[in-house]
Amino acid sequence: MNTPYRHAEFLCAAHTLAQTPEDDGLEVAFAGRSNAGKSSAINVITDQKSLARTSKTPGRTQQIVFFTLDEERRLVDLPGYGYAKVPMSVKLHWQKTLDLYLRERKSLQGLILLMDIRHPFTEYDTHMTNWCLAAHMPVHILLTKADKLSHGKASSVLQQVRKRCQDLAQGQDTPVTAQLFSALKKEGLPGVRECLNDWFNY
């Protein structure tokens, strides 16, 4: 089946907000800890082996990377957080840059938040989810590496995560959803593409 995500192409990598593309059209950003499998997920979703750089060294992505789908729509790979062994000055730069991007980017439609299913809702994940709720930014969680657990265990973790999402979003109208995902097995691919289709108005 052909999907618009197969047309994704590298657009640019921005080290500062001044280097980002014009703030128009529609964007969906991908965020997560540096070892959550973010680049692998983007490659599977776009059905391209090396669109997003993958590395055995977590934290290699030190820029905001933009990929175009068409003239109106973009996927955005945000720097991994919470793991990379980088100088404090670099961490502080990215905290400030990401905060401004997430807070001020008008074209941003939603956030795909990746969590390793074996370690869901770390402190950083919780902080990111709460920030999105405060900004009324829809969040869709991918519990990555689902193939590392048995089907029963993975389903149990998914239920726990969905319950946590309900608790965090209680009293708010901003959706926080979650699903299982495995880049290796391509599990959960229809679900995440359906979410993207909704945000991109496909």
pLDDT of residue 85: 66
CA dihedral in degrees (135, 9, 90, 59; nearest 10)? 100
**Predicted model pTM:** 0.93
pLDDT of residue 50: 86
Domain definitions of the chain by residue range = 4-200
Q: b or e along 147-183 (b: 16 or more beta carbons within 10 Å of the residue's beta carbon)?
A: bebeeeebeebbeebbebbeebbeeeebebebbbbbb
CA dihedral in degrees (18, 24, 27, 33; nearest 10)? 20
Hey, which bits of 5-134 come out as E strands? Answer: 9-14, 26-32, 64-68, 73-77, 108-116
pLDDT of residue 54: 62
Long-range contacts of 52-60 (CB under 8 A, 24+ apart): 52/77, 58/33, 58/34, 58/83, 58/84, 59/34, 59/83, 59/84, 59/85, 59/86, 60/34, 60/84
Q: Which residues of the chain have pLDDT under 70?
A: 1-2, 54-61, 82-86
pLDDT of residue 103: 87
pLDDT of residue 71: 94
What is 4-200's CATH superfamily?
A: P-loop containing nucleotide triphosphate hydrolases (3.40.50.300)
pLDDT of residue 195: 97
